[in-house]
Amino acid sequence: MRHWGRWVASAIVLFIVAVIVYSVVNNPRFQWGVVGDFLFDPRIVRGARVTLELTFLAMLIGIVLGVVLAVMRLSPSPLISGLSSFYIWFFRGTPVLVQILFWQFVGALYPKISIGVPFGGHVFASASANHLITPFVAGLLGLGLNEGAYMAEIVRAGILSVDEGQTEAASSLGMRRILTLRRVVLPQAMRVIIPPTGNETISMLKTSSLVSVIAYPELLYSAQLIYSVNFKTIPLLIVAAIWYLFFTSILSIGQYYIERHYARGTSGQVNRRDLAQVMANAMRFRHESGGIP
């Protein structure tokens, strides 16, 4: 028989899978019935919506900030480029969990937040920090500002991947630096920027669960609130996991179509095999710190 080794390996793998499936289905402690009861519980659905909101707003902050920081980093001015490096060093060098907690307790540092002329000048508007920095805002700031540092490096790598001849051609046509960046460099950099940004978004979806530490009812904390009352810990964690998996799958499919869009004009079109790759990436386990792999 040809490929007998492959047959043996397949048989072993199938056997192991069968054992696991059997135990998962027949272990009553999984309480699949409870999972079903809570999957569409209004509190869970609301938490899932909050997780989506947090993810998209934090990524929005991260991407905008990332582009600005990347452009600053590549500026000929050492002050501007240094400022960007400092930001990236600081926000990448401290855990995002610490940053979220920090924003939650920023009121201890600055009890009042005001807009006005600095160095003791006229104040136009002022509010209490505890009033302004709600847990949602603290979570968003923690996640978004941290993401900005990672996105800055991704965008910078993308910009550097574009051939210098492109910038030269654009300059020779009288295009200025910012116009060149917007019309020529960034659209080409997108092909390099999109795949890791997709990974970052998927990672952010899961990292947003850290906001549970400041007691904001996103998906995980909503589940925790329920099991702290009914003690159905495992089923509720499974409910949360199912929602996370559902969202990451949707995001992966979206990423496939965005990548295909930005691959136009190149011979290496995204093909079906890449879709499989994207799905595999989504399933890949990533560490909670949201770092670049």
Contacts to another protein by CB under 8 A: 163, 165-166, 168-177, 179, 183-184, 187-188, 262, 264-267
Nearest-approach distance from CB 68 to another protein, in angstroms: 19
Residue nearer to another protein on the CB measure, 43 or 176: 176
Q: Report angle CA 146, 79, 154 to the nearest 5 degrees.
A: 35
Residue nearer to another protein on the CB measure, 128 or 266: 266
DSSP characters for 127-139? Answer: EEHHHHS-HHHHH
Count of CB atoms situated within 10 Å of the CB of 67: 22
**Burial bucket for residue 40 (CB in 10 Å: 0-12, 13-18, 19+):** exposed
Nearest-approach distance from CB 261 to another protein, in angstroms: 11
Structural contact between residues 224 and 235, judged by C-beta atoms closer than 8 angstroms: no
Q: Tally the residues of the chain.
A: 293
Q: Report angle CA 142, 144, 146 to the nearest 5 degrees.
A: 65
Residue nearer to another protein on the CB measure, 184 or 223: 184
Residue nearer to another protein on the CB measure, 168 or 288: 168
Nearest-approach distance from CB 265 to another protein, in angstroms: 4
Count of CB atoms situated within 10 Å of the CB of 97: 17
For 232, which DSSP code? -
Nearest-approach distance from CB 170 to another protein, in angstroms: 8
Residue nearer to another protein on the CB measure, 26 or 267: 267
Nearest-approach distance from CB 66 to another protein, in angstroms: 21
Structural contact between residues 170 and 180, judged by C-beta atoms closer than 8 angstroms: yes
d(CA 65, CA 89): 14
Nearest-approach distance from CB 86 to another protein, in angstroms: 26
Residue nearer to another protein on the CB measure, 171 or 228: 171
d(CA 184, CA 170): 7
Nearest-approach distance from CB 240 to another protein, in angstroms: 41
SS3 126: strand
Residue nearer to another protein on the CB measure, 37 or 168: 168
